[in-house]
């Protein structure tokens, strides 16, 4: 039997699947990585894929002129939700999921950059990805926009002090996460160089942000590697699975 195929949408250079991609490959999944920013075509449907992974990017979910492939991505996300196809939207991917399914995304009053503590909500205790994760969860954040209003039927799972909607689930097998489970220190080093000015405008030092992520890297690998492995099991299971 052939390996399940995950359609992976990358929006710009330096924002690949990173650790999440490594863990999915180790779990036996095959990644069909599409880079529309450099001309890769996106499919019109998902019949040839077993799952969908939509990554982050510096553009907003409504910036179709800057990233003309975004309408196609939103349509693929709507199809995935309609079919309850295993889906994970990360940062911009979550924002696109929100926009595609009738929610609202806006500019964050308090953008989050660097390592941030997360709080699991009650609904997370029965979620296939988030149940029984660490008591003190931290994740890397890098966003100036966020979900303001959830799509109808979304189950909120995770929050933080500055961002109400850090993760939610639609149906049984579609998730959006505002944080970055895929990135580690090398990614943050690159992002810090690219976003030096906007990060400093938030009163943060990119070098200190990097040092904080480096110190937390073992825990980040453990927690978000575990979540990724759980999502891989969802992809390979014919029906929704419990935690």
Q: Where are the domains of the chain?
A: 5-236
Is residue 241 predicted with pLDDT exceeding 80?
A: no
Which position among 11, 49, 138, 180 bears the catalytic label? 180
Q: Is 148 a catalytic residue?
A: no
Higher pLDDT, 181 or 241: 181
**pLDDT classification of 87: cutoffs 50, 70, 90:** very high
11 a catalytic residue: no
The Cα-based distances of 217 to 39, 78, 140, 182, 185 in angstroms read 33, 34, 10, 11, 7
The residues, ordered by sequence, that sit 6+ positions from 48 with a Cβ below 8 Å of its Cβ are: 5
pLDDT at position 240 over 60: no
Catalytic residue among 10, 11, 91, 146: 91
Mean pLDDT of 1-15: 94
| DSSP letter, residue 180 | B
CATH 3.90.1640.10, applies to 5-236: no
Residue 163 among the catalytic residues: no
Is the pTM higher than 0.75?
A: yes
Q: Average pLDDT over the chain, rounded to whole?
A: 95
């Amino acid at each position: 039997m052939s390996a399940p195929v995950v359609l992976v949408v990358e929006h710009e250079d330096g924002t690949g699947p990173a650790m999440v991609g490594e863990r999915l490959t180790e779990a036996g999944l095959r990644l069909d990585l599409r880079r529309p920013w450099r001309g890769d075509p996106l499919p019109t449907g998902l019949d040839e894929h077993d799952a969908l992974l939509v990554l982050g990017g510096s553009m907003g979910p409504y910036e179709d002129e800057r990233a003309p492939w975004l309408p196609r991505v939103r349509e693929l996300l709507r199809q995935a939700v309609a079919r309850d196809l295993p889906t994970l939207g990360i940062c911009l991917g979550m924002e696109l999921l929100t926009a595609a399914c009738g929610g609202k995304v806006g500019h964050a009053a308090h953008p989050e950059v660097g390592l941030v503590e997360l709080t699991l909500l009650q609904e997370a205790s029965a979620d296939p990805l988030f149940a029984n994760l660490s008591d003190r969860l931290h994740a890397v954040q890098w966003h100036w926009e966020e979900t303001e209003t959830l799509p109808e039927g979304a189950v909120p799972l995770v929050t933080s002090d500055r961002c109400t909607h850090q993760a939610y689930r639609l149906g049984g097998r579609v998730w959006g996460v505002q944080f970055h489970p895929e990135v580690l220190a090398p990614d943050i080093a690159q992002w810090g160089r690219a976003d030096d000015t906007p990060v400093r405008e938030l009163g943060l030092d990119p070098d200190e942000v990097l040092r904080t992520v480096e110190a937390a890297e073992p825990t980040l690998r453990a927690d978000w590697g575990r979540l990724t492995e759980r999502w891989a099991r969802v992809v390979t299971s014919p029906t929704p699975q419990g935690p």
